[in-house]
Amino acid sequence: MNRRLRTLTFSLSLLLLAAAHPTHAADGLAYVGTRHDGSSGVNGLRSADALALSPDGADLYAAGSGDSALAVFSRDAASGALTFVEQERQGSFGIEGLGGASAVAVSPDGINVYAAGTQDDSLVVFTRDPADGALFFVERKRDSVDGVDGLAGINAVAVSPDGMNVYATGGADDALATFMRDATTGTLTFLGAEPGLNGPQAIAISPDGAYLYVASGNAVVVFARDPASGMLTAVQIVDDNTDGVDGLGGAAALALSPDGGHLYAAGKLDDAVAVFSRDSASGALAFVEVDRQAVDGVDGLDGVDAVAVSPDGTHVYTAAANANALAVFDRDATTGSLTFVHAQHDAVGDVDGLAGAAAVAVSPDGTYVYVAGKSANAVTAFSTLCGDGSLDPGEQCDDGNAANGDGCSAGCRRECGAAADCNDGDMCTEKRCVSGECALPRCGLDGGMCELRDAEPDLENLAGCTPMRQTLQRALKLRLRQARAQLRMAKHQGICVKHGKHHGPCVQWTKNPSAKDLKKLLKQVNASLATVEDRATKLAKHNHISADCLASVDRAVGTLTSDLKHMVLHTGVCAP
């Protein structure tokens, strides 16, 4: 299968590989694939700003500030693959308050999703369908409406571990708003706002729910939380460049270790991660160290925007917008100190989608890391199994370490000096050497033929269509093979560029087609695949297949035609 995440699932072989190994993180990060806005049916990812996973890891939610929307993906736990479910967009289906959506959080019980609409000064409430992750608008709380305060320029949202409260920072209000949450409906009741902050950007809550931490300007503010009411009391302010503290310049993100022993703060202006130990009784922070870009070999922290800790507490991951990078650090569980391992940069090897990296989320089992690329309008997945010595999904090689310069990179890609070094014997992929690492994208006519071949078993097992009606199954097989034959003829015989009179037989072929010629070929292939949708529409009209089956066919064929377009025309991920 290709190395991009697709609406169609990864092949069974990849699933078996992923399931065969324990889900503990190694030091490496292997690129798995990217979902781009506007490609393969995906929408809602323009200026992707924030990510949140459901507690069970079944669904991923991405806030697209440019689309004023939430993009919803279901997630395959074995392969890490994302399947686009829907987008919830401002103004659609009665949705209000999502303008400039910039933050998202899921309640611990998985019942609700909360989103920040920065342009609308609103906190938006959705209920969540646990079956497919789909969302349903409930209400919005807007600044200066019905007594609500502190939400102007809302840019962060968090739910307490007990699910009783929702907190949101108003960057323009310099405030932190507190709400009581109805556990049944998810609706919110405004309780009050803490003023006096300085452009707050992020919230983290201790695992026991006793303390709340806010990134505020060049500082971290510590609040004690009343477990009965959820109300807050400020107990400490930790300022950058005070009492030895360093790395908090432009504090943009916070993350607590799973045991609550340490807090990590991303200092965007300092290109650094500040490390603090935490007193569980008082909530107080004590500075441990700073890890800074270009110091002691640290890389990938230029403009660091996000930070996350692995569920087992062994690693810390950061996303940096200026560096277009995802970095990984080893974490000492006792001291909390970090050791830089390596960084994955956009456009190195086959890595894609990290431009403007703005958010990072780790799957509950720690096996996959997801990054929102704000400039790329994308969500990218990495596997943490790279470096465990076994060949896993997304890996070209695995020599048991996360070191570069030994023939197998820290991203488990073959290192190269020229494209010839990347020959993997697979006719479906193109061989490229990009910044010293192999990229093996499925592209061109060969890639398209392989894509059509591999799509057949997936299309025959579409959701809502099992068991598939024989007439639809025959149409699928026939048109997939017809499309494959069209590509095969184009490769071996060439593309017809001139017909005889009155649309007679082809009289001139070319094996060096122009972009116009390739678009003509693609139009013919798409026409073949469109007949599958036509057949499904007729069957649904006579109630021979369900509406869900028809929708599945439309989505799958749409995804396939979108993928073929990039392959044949060498655009998108297939661009040279």
Query: pLDDT tens across 242-276, in order?
Result: 999 999 999 999 999 999 999 999 999 999 999 99
Predicted structure pTM score: 0.88
Angstrom distance (rounded) from CA 483 to CA 150: 57
Residue 19 pLDDT greater than 60, yes or no? no
Q: What band does 85 get if pLDDT is binned at 50, 70 and 90?
A: very high
Residue 351 pLDDT greater than 50, yes or no? yes
The Cβ-side half-sphere exposure at 211, using a 13 Å CA radius, reads 23
Residue 18 pLDDT greater than 80, yes or no? no
Residue 471 pLDDT greater than 50, yes or no? yes
Residue 438 pLDDT greater than 60, yes or no? yes
Residue 36 pLDDT greater than 60, yes or no? yes
Residues 88-104: what's their mean pLDDT? 96
Phi, psi of 545 (to 5 degrees): -135, 160
Q: What band does 192 get if pLDDT is binned at 50, 70 and 90?
A: very high
Q: What band does 573 get if pLDDT is binned at 50, 70 and 90?
A: confident
Angstrom distance (rounded) from CA 136 to CA 116: 16
Taking a C-beta distance cutoff of 8 angstroms, is the pair 328, 317 a contact?
yes
Q: What band does 459 get if pLDDT is binned at 50, 70 and 90?
A: confident
The per-residue pLDDT for range 127-168, each reduced to its tens digit, is 999 999 999 999 999 999 999 999 999 999 999 999 999 999
Question: What tokens does 101 get?
Answer: 């959506």
Residues 278-291: what's their mean pLDDT? 98
Q: What band does 24 get if pLDDT is binned at 50, 70 and 90?
A: low
Q: What band does 8 get if pLDDT is binned at 50, 70 and 90?
A: very low
Residues 359-366: what's their mean pLDDT? 98
Q: What band does 12 get if pLDDT is binned at 50, 70 and 90?
A: very low
Position 9 scores a pLDDT of 36
Position 7 scores a pLDDT of 33
Cβ contacts of 46 within 8 Å, gap of 6 or more: 37, 64, 65, 66, 67, 69, 377
DSSP one-letter string for 235-290: EEEEETTSTT--S-TTEEEEEE-TTSSEEEEEETTTTEEEEEEE-TTT--EEEEEE
Give the chain's mean pLDDT: 93
**Is beta strand 285-292 parallel, antiparallel or unpaired with respect to 30-36?**
unpaired
Taking a C-beta distance cutoff of 8 angstroms, is the pair 529, 8 a contact?
no
Q: What band does 416 get if pLDDT is binned at 50, 70 and 90?
A: very high
Residue 571 pLDDT greater than 90, yes or no? no
Taking a C-beta distance cutoff of 8 angstroms, is the pair 509, 496 a contact?
yes
Position 172 scores a pLDDT of 98
Position 255 scores a pLDDT of 98
Taking a C-beta distance cutoff of 8 angstroms, is the pair 342, 29 a contact?
yes
Angular region, 394: left φ>0, alpha ψ -120 to 50, beta rest: left
Position 6 scores a pLDDT of 34
The per-residue pLDDT for range 196-205, each reduced to its tens digit, is 999 999 999 9
Angstrom distance (rounded) from CA 113 to CA 85: 15
Q: Name the residue among 409, 478, 465, 346 with its Cα closest to residue 34.
A: 346
All structural domains of the chain, each given as residue ranges with its CATH number in brackets, are 199-345 (2.130.10.10), 444-574 (1.20.1440)
Residue 369 pLDDT greater than 50, yes or no? yes
DSSP one-letter string for 499-536: E-TTT-SEEEEESS--HHHHHHHHHHHHHHHHHHHHHH
The per-residue pLDDT for range 312-322, each reduced to its tens digit, is 999 999 999 99
Task: Encode 304-337: b = buried (16+ Cβ within 10 Å), e = exposed.
Answer: bbbbbbbbebbbbbbbbbbbbbbbbbebeeeebe
Position 76 scores a pLDDT of 94
Angstrom distance (rounded) from CA 347 to CA 38: 20
